[in-house]
Amino acid sequence: MHHLNKLDTKMALLEVKDLKVRVEEREILHGLTLTVNEGEIHAIMGPNGSGKSTLSHVIAGKPGYEVTDGQILFRGEDLLEMAPNERAAKGVFLAFQYPVEIPGVSTMNFLRTALNAQRKARGESEYSTPDFLKKVREVSKSLNIPQDMLKRGVNVGFSGGEKKRNEVLQMALFEPSLCILDEMDSGLDIDALRIAADGVNALHSPKRAMVVITHYQRLLNYIVPDIVHVMSKGRVVKSGGKELALELEASGYAQFEDAA
Amino acid sequence: MPAVQETVERVKRIDVDQYRYGFETLIESDKAPKGLSEETVKFISEKKNEPAWMLQWRLEAYRRWLTMTEPTWARVDYPKIDFQDLYYYSAPKPKKTITSLDEIDPEILKTYEKLGIPLREVAMLEGVEPKPGEEDPARRKIAVDAVFDSVSVATTFKAELKKAGVIFMPISEAIREHPELVQKYLGSVVPTSDNFYATLNSAVFSDGSFVYVPPGVRCPMELSTYFRINERNTGQFERTLIIADKGSYVSYLEGCTAPQRDENQLHAAVVELVTHDDAEIKYSTVQNWYPGNSEGKGGIYNFVTKRGDCRGNNSKISWTQVETGSAITWKYPSCILRGDNSRGEFYSIAISNGYQQVDSGTKMIHLGKNTSSRIISKGIAAGRSQNTYRGLVTAHRKATGARNFTACDSLLIGDKCGAHTVPYIEAKNSSATFEHEATTSKISEDVLFYCIQRGLTQEEAVGLVVNGFVKDVLQQLPMEFAVEAQKLISISLEGSVG
């Protein structure tokens, strides 16, 4: 990949250092370390219960997790000190495994409220209605998202594929520098998966990093990672190039269970 | 929607103990002696220069009231009210007859300014028209009959209404100027013997609005009254009477705010609506009275009787309410569907937070043939509040083909509040079709986190989700009020999470 040739200019975007996390007295992450540089695509793979989703939730700041040790830095700043909405404004975006429905709130209204909240938090001017409409039309057109979807309640009555495309639309609109895709392939058929993955690929840029969390290798046929990490029992047990994903596909996770 | 952003701004600025509208205006007032007696009733009637028949009507109500006891069936709990420890009349001292806004006490105008509501009205009162191409629906003409501490201090747009033949004036004036109309309709929907609080109101009502729309007239503007309570220990007893004659239409908007108090304030209003053949009345309320402080101290007791009579065939009455204030709300805007093919509607958003108690709903009484009614109720309970929907749908034996649809949705925020739905349904003929749907849900942590991950604060997220929940009802409000109501909803839920 083109950006791998520029190792010397890469900036560390996300640094997770020896992170230990508990949920209700049970330790889920036992000292996890991970560095994601600008422009990189990382895949995090692992069996159910290995702590993949916990990692994504802790980075985004979901309540209910207790960090007992370690650090998460975002562009060198302590992410754990920031409220979840501040993290969003700083450029951390989590594409949810199961995006929620918000009845009565049109997608358009939601997008505008959220985008302006982020802009305001960054001290930028809020979008006026015409400017916002122009931007959202541009972005949705580039992703082949029908205008009709924007008028409906947020994810209300959306198919699995539509929900994921709505996540991609938000990603495109908010322009985060770190996108965490949590089990993006769950609940999608191959066609829907391809459409969503195309959207993600279109958003990849030298400044934007992606962390793709997945149980299966198939998503990585569409979103090709630079680095693959294998998680087991709350730790990263192996990291490597994209070929590691194929190796896993062939031999399964069992070989790593002991290593953890 | 820009309103959401504004909401967010407002919520941020507000401190839970600093009720935004909690201030007093220093104005000389003219009070009746404390307590309730025939003398008090006579004092009020005299103050109003009422004719003898009106005094007689009041006295009969007062005597009736003495024989009645307070209702206790509602799911509300409050210390016993000492009716002898209240003032029943207070009015700003009239300096002279008011012919223009400039003559209104600047203190009063300042109060309106603080409320934030009137800036629009001030512009309208000064005849500011929207610029061409700048069609702002919130700038539509609205006639304001400002009720300030029981006495209407300003009535505007009179000329235009007069041209249309619409009578819109304080009821005290109507009693003198249109006695034949008042005598014919006053108490014809809510009789003086109706219930404890309505009877009390009949004896001591101080003022309110009177509207008469003549046959075939579509009222040229929305009629709006802002109520305000401003005198310590003064009960507010508004009386409103609206008559839509054959084939006419009127939309009436009512909104209230009140200053902060330590003692509880009693409010017992009565609103009567009458529609004749083919006529329609749309009545909208945004109620934001002082709900008490964060410990449940103070706040308005709001015991209201609102009822509409679809007297004529094919007539329609529609109630829309956004209830966010008051310590106690006891209120059931109802429709008597007397005329054949008449239609009643009730759209309600009732929000309770802190220690507020709401017992509200409607009654749809189907008497005529092929009458229909629709009830959409959205209750939101937060804090330690209790929120009850209580509704009656009944079809008389002769009300063949009666139809009702009811949907009651409750949303709980937190785990110390309660939502209750108490529907009463009676069909006395077999051709009636009644449908009832009810849901209760909790605001989910996952939904909140989703919004917060997208950059919203916790409170912004709650505001957004709740505004979505009540959208069906908000859409029933005139644009003017919808925007204001949306703000109020978020303000009243401030501090409800976390």
- Asked if the Cβ–Cβ distance from A104 to B470 is below 8 Å, we say yes
A99 touches chain B (CB under 8 A): yes
Plot region of A134 (φ>0 → left; ψ -120 to 50 → alpha; else → beta): alpha
- Model pTM? 0.78
> Looking at chain A, which residue has its C-alpha nearest residue B451?
A114
pLDDT higher for A80 or B151?
Answer: A80
Strands (E), chain A: 12-23, 26-37, 41-45, 66-74, 77-78, 92-95, 102-106, 153-154, 178-182, 209-214, 227-232, 235-240
Other beta carbons within 10 Å of B446: 12
Whole-complex ipTM = 0.94
Nearest chain B residue to A88 by CA distance is: B455
CB-based contacts of A71, cutoff 8 Å, min separation 6 = A15, A16, A17, A18, A19, A78, A80
DSSP H/E element including B348: strand B343-352
Interface test with A, best of B7, B134, B453 (most A CBs within 10 A): B453
Position B93 scores a pLDDT of 52
Q: Does A125 touch chain B (CB under 8 A)?
A: no
Among B445, B451, B471, select the one facing A104 at the smallest CB separation: B471
Q: Which residues pair with B406 in a beta bridge?
A: B375, B436
Q: Which pLDDT value is given to residue B81?
A: 84
Nearest residue in chain A measured CA to CA from B463: A105
Position with higher pLDDT, A172 vs B234: A172
The shortest CB-CB distance from A84 to any of B447, B453, B467 is to B453
Token pair 């004719």 in the structure block, residue: B51
Question: What does the alpha-carbon distance between residue A32 and residue A236 come to, in Å, rounded to a whole number?
Answer: 6
Question: Is the minimum CB–CB distance between A121 and chain B shorter than 8 Å?
Answer: yes
- Does position A13 have pLDDT exceeding 90, yes or no? yes
Measured distance CA(B478)–CA(B224) in Å, rounded: 11
CA B404 – CA B393 distance, rounded (Å): 8
Q: What is the mean pLDDT of chain B?
A: 80
Query: Is B357:B383 a contact under the CB 8 Å cutoff?
Result: no
| pLDDT tier for residue A196 given thresholds of 50, 70 and 90 | confident
Measure B449 CA to nearest chain A CA, in Å.
7
A105 part of contact set with chain B, CB < 8 Å: yes
Mean pLDDT per block of 10 residues along chain B (498 residues) reads 41 39 54 82 89 95 93 86 80 48 57 47 39 42 49 54 88 92 96 94 89 94 57 64 97 66 72 98 86 79 94 97 88 97 95 91 96 95 92 95 95 90 92 92 91 93 90 81 74 67
pLDDT, residue B26, reads 52
Which residue does chain B place closest to A175, by CA atoms? Answer: B454
A vs B, Cβ pairs < 8 A, gives 85
Are residues A94 and B446 in contact, defined by beta-carbon separation less than 8 angstroms? no
The pLDDT assigned to B27 comes to 53
Q: Residues of B with CB below 8 A from A116's CB? A: 5
Structure confidence at residue A96 as a pLDDT band (50, 70, 90): very high
The partner residues of B288 in beta bridges, in order of sequence, read B257
Residue A254: per-residue pLDDT: 77
Contact A32, A16 (CB under 8 A): yes
Strand-pairing partners, residue B390, are B361, B422
Instruction: Test B456 with A114 for CB contact under 8 angstroms.
Output: yes
Q: Of the candidates B203, B190, B227, which has an alpha carbon nearest to the alpha carbon of residue B331?
A: B190
Mention every residue, 6+ apart, whose C-beta is less than 8 A from residue A107.
A149, A150, A151, A152, A153, A154, A155, A166
- Tell which B residues from 405 to 464 touch A, by Cβ distance under 8 Å: 444-447, 449-457, 460, 464
Instruction: Say how far apart CA B222 and CA B168 lie, in whole Å.
Output: 11
pLDDT of residue B125: 40
Backbone angles phi, psi at B141, to 5 degrees: -65, 135
**Run of H or E including B453:** helix B445-453
**A60 lies within 8 A of chain B by CB:** yes
Residue B481 makes CB contacts below 8 A (sequence gap 6+) with B253, B255, B284, B286, B322
What's the distance, Cα to Cα, between the start and end of chain A in Å?
A: 30
At B102 the pLDDT is 57
Instruction: Determine whether the interchain pair B468/A102 forms a contact, defined as Cβ–Cβ distance below 8 Å.
Output: yes
Question: Could you tell me which residues are beta bridge partners of residue A66?
Answer: A22
Asked if B77 and B357 count as a contact pair (C-beta separation under 8 A), the reply is yes
Burial class (CB in 10 A: 0-12, 13-18, 19+), B128: exposed
Residues 8-27 in B contacting A (C-alpha not used; CB under 8 Å): 8
The whole-angstrom separation of Cα A215 and Cα B18 is 51
Task: Determine contact: A115 vs chain B, CB below 8 A.
Answer: yes
Note whether A128 contacts B: Cβ–Cβ < 8 A.
Answer: no
Express each pLDDT in B385-436 by its tens digit: 999 999 999 999 999 999 999 999 999 988 889 999 999 999 999 999 999 9
B285 contacts B320 by C-beta, under 8 angstroms = yes
Cα of B19 vs its chain's centroid, Å: 20
Distance from CA of A154 to the nearest CA of B (A): 10
CB contacts of A88 in chain B (<8 Å) are 452-455
Q: What is the pLDDT of residues B56-66, one digit of tens each?
A: 999 999 999 99
Cα dihedral B291→B296→B298→B303 (10° resolution): 60
Q: Distance from CA of residue A153 to its chain's centroid?
A: 23
